[in-house]
A and B are shown apart, each in its own frame.
Chain A
Amino acid sequence: MTGARIPLTLTVNGRRHELEAYPMARLLDVLRDDLGLTGTKEGCGEGECGACSVLMNGEVVNSCLVPAIQAQGAELRTIEGLAGDGEALSPLQAAFVACNGAQCGFCTPGMVMASVDLLARSPHPDEARIRTGLAGNICRCTGYGKIIDAVARAAAEERP
């Protein structure tokens, strides 16, 4: 049995994928390496930085800490799933652009996905609520002020 890949079914951004993966492969690596969805980033690889945040069954998770076997049958949403098929950004993404909510950009996909989760639960968050919602996401450019502005702007305009 050792070394066997398992059949894995994932629905990512509304599209169903059937693939084979090692059961202890990280969901992060399955997304990036097997499905080519490299928008999800690896920062620390230990659940501290939030760069790998994705939504799994409607909840934000650190994809570096999810073994593939526990994602069996899951509905996943990644940064690639936010914009439409064309060029149109989601309102939340557009707010990040408008507020200069990205500097180097590496933390941005994780920040945006954590914000999607936050706004789904709390459509009109105050600043403290935004800070709690994004507390697991680290920006080493330290551009937190503009990131918080972006989330507040998206909340004020409409839901993401």
Chain B
Amino acid sequence: MRGDVPGCEVRVPGTLEEALDGLHREPGQWRPLAGGTDLMVPFAAGRLADTRFLSLHRLADLRAVELTDAGLVLGALVTYAQVRQHPGILAQWPNLVSSAQATGAVAIQNRGTLGGNLVNASPAADTPPSLLAYGAQVELSSVRGARWVDYADFHTGYKRTVMAPDELLTRIRVPAAGPGFHFFRKVGTRAAQAVAKVCLAAYARVEAGVVREFRVGLGSLAPVPARARATEAVILGAPVAGLAVRLGARAREALLADISPVDDLRSTANYRRTVAGNVLVQALGELEAELGGR
């Protein structure tokens, strides 16, 4: 343990208003702390600059899961375990359950939060690809009020986001998905406790045999969790029959424009480019097999 434990100060707001007020009075001075599964690692290693923390664990309202006709609203403190175990989420947004199951293992899933996963802003996190595929939005709150931001616009660069220093990510909204095609694939060293080498989530809706909605979210393939917009454009409006054979190569080519993978300790850029293309073609094949008859 190399973190400066005695040198730290922690505030525990009892309400959201109190938390936002604290952030407003001294913007950027208090690091919000949710489940701790990310922050405690660099802290214990003595690699975290922050010494003042705003522990959010009393903000029970932010643990709520709300299902409505319009979709799903998740409080920022909802854990992976909550998502994993929620039958309503599994029924409509199975990629979210796959993401939650792919994150760490049981003990991490019990503590880690979705809001923390997004604000930590790792390009390799496992929930962002699914949230991107479902067109999610995030609510950023401050004493000035709350604003909703498309999650696809949330990350602005490596570990950078649109959040102001006095803002807190409070809720995540996922639109109703309806019947469609859901795909999630994480490629890592092992199924549990691994950071993704490549992660790809997709959602598609097919009407009268034509792909009318298609979104792809990517992890570990760019400095930020990213939408594969060039790839999506190739597939949108295409007949689903014969999709993989007709458009597989073009989609693969387009994906190369969507990604900018790097060599790092977990993998190489070359491996990531190849495997991301393979996973995309797999997704297109499954889309065709599942919805080709519609």
- A residues apposed to B, CB below 8 Å: 1-4, 22-26, 29, 45-48, 50, 53, 59-62, 64-67, 69-70, 114, 117-118, 132-133, 135-138
Contact = CB atoms under 8 A, between A and B. Distances in A.
Given A65-B36, A67-B36, A69-B55, A3 B7 contact: yes
Interface stretch (B61-69, B102-110, B122-130, B280-288): B102-110
Interface stretch (B18-26, B40-48, B92-100, B214-222): B40-48
B8 A70 contact: no
Nearest to B85: A121
A46 B3 CA distance: 12
A117 B105 CA distance: 13
Most chain A beta-carbon contacts within 10 A, residue among B12, B111, B191: B111
18 contacts: A2-B8, A24-B10, A47-B41, A47-B108, A53-B107, A61-B107, A62-B107, A62-B108, A62-B111, A64-B40, A65-B36, A65-B40, A65-B41, A67-B53, A114-B107, A132-B105, A132-B106, A136-B193
Given A132-B106, A135-B191, 19 more contacts: A1-B9, A2-B7, A23-B55, A24-B10, A24-B43, A25-B5, A59-B81, A60-B110, A64-B44, A65-B35, A65-B111, A67-B53, A69-B12, A69-B55, A70-B36, A70-B55, A136-B106, A136-B107, A136-B193
A67 B55 contact: yes
Contacts of B104: 47, 136
Contact of B110 (A24, A29, A61, A70): A61
A4 B52 CA distance: 13
B193 to A, nearest CB: 6
B33 A29 contact: no
Contact of A59 (B36, B40, B110): B110
Contacts of A65: 35-37, 40-41, 108, 111
Q: How large is the interface on B (under 10, 10 to 19, 20 to 34, 35 or more residues)?
A: 20 to 34
Nearest to A53: B107
Given A45-B1, A69-B12, A26 B44 contact: yes
Nearest to A133: B106
B192 interface: yes
B9 to A, nearest CB: 5
Given A45-B1, A64-B40, A136-B106, A24 B111 contact: no
B6 interface: yes
B266 to A, nearest CB: 14
A132 B84 CA distance: 13
B57 interface: yes
Contacts of A62: 37, 107-108, 111
Most chain B beta-carbon contacts within 10 A, residue among A47, A53, A135: A47
Contacts of B37: 47, 62, 65
Q: Which 5 A-B pairs rank lowest in CB-CB distance, beginning with the nearest?
A: A136-B105, A135-B192, A23-B10, A24-B8, A135-B105
Nearest to A49: B193
